[in-house]
Structure formats: structure tokens, C-alpha cells
Amino acid sequence: MDKIKIAFFDSKDYDKQSFVDSNQNEEFEITYFETRLSEDTYKLAEGSDVVCVFVNDDVNSVVIDKLHKMGVKLIALRCAGYNNVDIEHAFGKIHVVRVPAYSPYAVAEHAIALLLTSIRRIHKAYIRTKDFNFSLNGLTGFDLHGKTVGVVGTGKIGRIFIDICRGFGMNVIAYDKFPAKDSGIEYVSLDELWNRSDIISLHCPLTDESLHMINAESIEQMKKGVVIINTSRGALIDSEALVEGIKARHVGAACLDVYEEESNVFFHDYSNHIVNDDTLARLISMPNVIVTSHQAFLTNEALMNIADTTLNNVKEFFDKGTCTNEICYKCANLATCKQTHENKCF
Ligand code: NAD
């Protein structure tokens, strides 16, 4: 049998290297494209069996129809979230597989790194001591011990984040649409979580329901000085409402690894450009906001897991015609898909 051909979009040096390593026996013919998959670039996938995409590729209905017409059989996401794929439109046309977990530790640990950096002003201290400025003025932080952290989403990442917070002696409360039974976690309503938390960390997926869950109204309910951490998806937060909350001195700090308009800027070097996004520029200008560019997943362990699982997904799909990590809109939203169609979603 011919080698399976994979068109790999939005390729970066770091993920290319892990896929080259994982494919060292050259079982797959992978063509790496630096450009993202979109309505303008789909033609690059001509002759491919698979398109491999990441968080900011735009796999909308038009792209799906074009790929389907070109004979692409599989969309292999090399990430967990799939809000950038119109999975409802893909149903019945192209199968979609993903990497459900690659290193939940990487993301949970990054959330903690952002929190500690922010509240102990490490980002400020680093710049000062580089310039031999050893003044402590303005660097006063606060203890995490005894503070209440509200965790939204208690799946794989949220649970690890909770374990780490408990290690610091923090009180943990949580909200999840589907609370985990017998977990020993104190679940509360979202309103109560906004009300009681000194720190809020988001670990749920982006859906129609969770879109802008942090907005002007929810910020109003939060404690003055609250620290908000988002390592999940940017659009969970209404960024303009966040800016206003910080300007009003109501939000004490924000730690953002994701941003709702990130696809226009993240993963690229714009250091010699004027950034057009005023909301992002305003956020970055604030001393109590830390932005990292969707970096939480970026550990050696996660990159190897992503490459191995993605290539195993492709292999499983073409060997058996099914894949355990297949996802469709029924699996995702209605929980009605039990992959009953000959063990496939359709
Ligand atoms: P998971 O599926 O294990 O857990 C998600 C949890 O959110 C589940 O318990 C689910 O019941 C809950 N949930 C679903 N809808 C909800 C809602 N409306 N309100 C509250 N809770 C809800 O996922 P995970 O592996 O823990 O990942 C969490 C999120 O982290 C992903 O959705 C993804 O967007 C994000 N992520 C970010 C990075 C990064 O590099 N920044 C990397 C991986 C994942």
C-alpha cells in the first residue's frame, strides 16, 4: 500500500521536529506547510489523504467541502480543542480525530507559573535586576496559602490544577457543567464561584454556552482584586469587559495564555510591527496583565505525545477504518454518538 499522505498545516520548527522524530521510519509521507489551513490555502492539500491541523487553522464549512471534494478522508487535529472545526458540517463527509490529552500537567503547571509570576511580580523583578535595579518598591505580593481559588471545569487539566493549589494550602471551590462524583471537590454555582474566589482559573472548553462567561456582569460579581487566569480558550473572556474591569481597579490581575482574537497574532513575531489590535495592546500595556502566546502546552513531553498520538490516530483510522479518538458533533454536543456505525461516528 502507498504511504499515507499528510498535509501538515501551520507547521512550526518545534512541532515539525517532534513529528519528524515520531515518523523516523518514514511510515507516513508528511508535507509541512507553514501557512494555516483556510479558504485561501486548502489547495495545498491536493492529493493528500489527511490534513493535520492545530488550534488556529480555520476548518470551516467551505474548507471542509473543498477537502471532501479533493478526496481528503481525515482531519487530524494535533490538539484537544476543536472549536476551529465545523464538526457538524464535517459529519457524514470527513472524519475528525484529535489528541484528547497530551500533557494536562503542562497546562496546569503553566497556569500556576503565570499565577506565581503575577502575584509575586516576578516579571517586574526580572527586568529590574537585569538593569541592576534592586529596589523592592511596588513588588509587594500576597500569600496563596489560605486564599480561595475558583476552578471552572474540573476535567483533566482542572483536576491537576486543583491538586497543585491544594499543595499551596489554598481553599478550592469549583464549577463544572458535569460535576465529578465522589471527587471530594466542593462544587458551587457559577454565581457563588464569582462571588467567593480570590483567584479564578478557567479549564473548560469553549462552547456556545461558555462563550464570554467572564463578561461585565460576572466581573461585577467578583471580589475586588480578583486574579483571573485563562489557559483554556480566549473567547471564554470578553476581553473588552476585562480591560474595563482592570481599569476600574476591580480586577487585580489577569494571566492570559489565550486571547479571543489570538489567531491574528499569536505564534508570529510582530516585534517590528505596529499591532492593530487595540484591546490586546491595552492589555499588554497593563503592569498587572501577563500574556503568553498559547504556550501552556509547550513542553517536550507534550510535543512527543501530540506527535505519537496524532500519527497513531491516522494509522488506526486507515488500518481499522475506526479510531478511538474520533470526534463528531454528536459525540461533542449531544452525547448521543456512541460510534455505533460500525464503530465509527458515521
Ligand atoms: P477535559 O475535557 O478533560 O475537561 C473539561 C471539563 O470542562 C469537563 O469536566 C467538562 O465537564 C467541563 N465543562 C464542559 N462545558 C462546561 C461549561 N460550560 N462550564 C463549565 N465546565 C464545563 O479537558 P481538559 O483536557 O481539562 O482541557 C480543558 C481546556 O483546556 C480545553 O477545552 C482546551 O480548550 C484547553 N487547553 C489549552 C491548552 C493550552 O495550550 N493553552 C492546551 C490544552 C488544552
The string of pLDDT tens digits covering residues 32-82 is: 999 999 999 999 999 999 999 998 899 999 999 999 999 999 999 999 889
Query: What amino acid positions are annotated as catalytic residues?
Result: 233, 262, 294
Ligand 1 centroid distance, CA of 56 (Å): 17
For the chain, how long is the longest CA-to-CA vector? 68
Pocket of ligand 1 (CB under 6 A): 80-81, 101, 104, 107, 152-158, 175-178, 203-205, 207, 209-210, 231-233, 257-258, 294, 296-297
- Nearest atom in ligand 1 to the alpha carbon of residue 207 is 18
Ligand 1: residue of 14, 107, 210, 327 to mutate (most ligand atoms within 8 A of CB) is 107
Ligand 1: which residue has its CA nearest to atom 20?
A: 176
Distance 205 CA to ligand 1 centre (A): 4
Measuring from atom 36 of ligand 1, which residue has the nearest CA?
Answer: 232
Write out pLDDT tens, residues 306-340.
999 999 999 999 999 889 999 988 887 766 787 87
pLDDT band at 4 (very low <50, low <70, confident <90, very high): very high
- Å from CA of 174 to ligand 1 middle: 13
Tell me if 84 sits within 8 A of 58, measured CB to CB. Answer: yes
Cell numbers at 209, concatenated: 454556552
Cα 204 to ligand 1 centroid, rounded to whole Å: 3
Once rounded to an integer, what is the mean pLDDT over residues 293-302?
95
pLDDT given for residue 334 in this prediction: 67
- C-alpha 38/C-alpha 61 separation (Å) is 10
Nearest CA to ligand 1 atom 17: 177
The predicted structure's pLDDT at residue 246: 98
Q: Give residue 19's pLDDT band: very low, low, confident or very high (50, 70, 90).
A: very high
Q: Cβ(172)–Cβ(201) under 8 Å?
A: no
Which residue puts its alpha carbon closest to atom 32 of ligand 1? 205
Give the confidence band of 135 by pLDDT, cuts at 50, 70, 90: very high
| Atom in ligand 1 nearest the alpha carbon of residue 295 | 40
Nearest CA to ligand 1 atom 8: 155
Least confident of 91-100, 228-237, 336-345: 336-345
Strand partners, 152: 175, 202
Residue with cell 455505533: 340
- The pLDDT score that the predictor gives to residue 9 is 98
Name the residue with the closest Cα to ligand 1, atom 35: 232
The grid coordinates listed for 6 are: 499528510
80 alpha carbon – ligand 1 mean position (Å) = 9
- pLDDT at residue 244 greater than cutoff 70: yes
Contact between 294 and 268 under an 8 Å Cβ cutoff? The reply is no
Short-list 193, 181, 235, 240, CA closest to 218: 193
Predicted confidence band of residue 108 (pLDDT cuts 50, 70, 90) = very high
Give the position, in ligand 1's atom list, of the atom nearest the Cα of 180: 9
Which runs of consecutive H residues, i.e. helices, occur in 41-81? Answer: 61-70
Choose the residue to mutate in 157, 262, 291 for probing ligand 1, maximizing ligand atoms within 8 Å of C-beta: 157
- Closest atom of ligand 1 to 158 CA is 26
CA of 84 to the centre of ligand 1 (A): 15
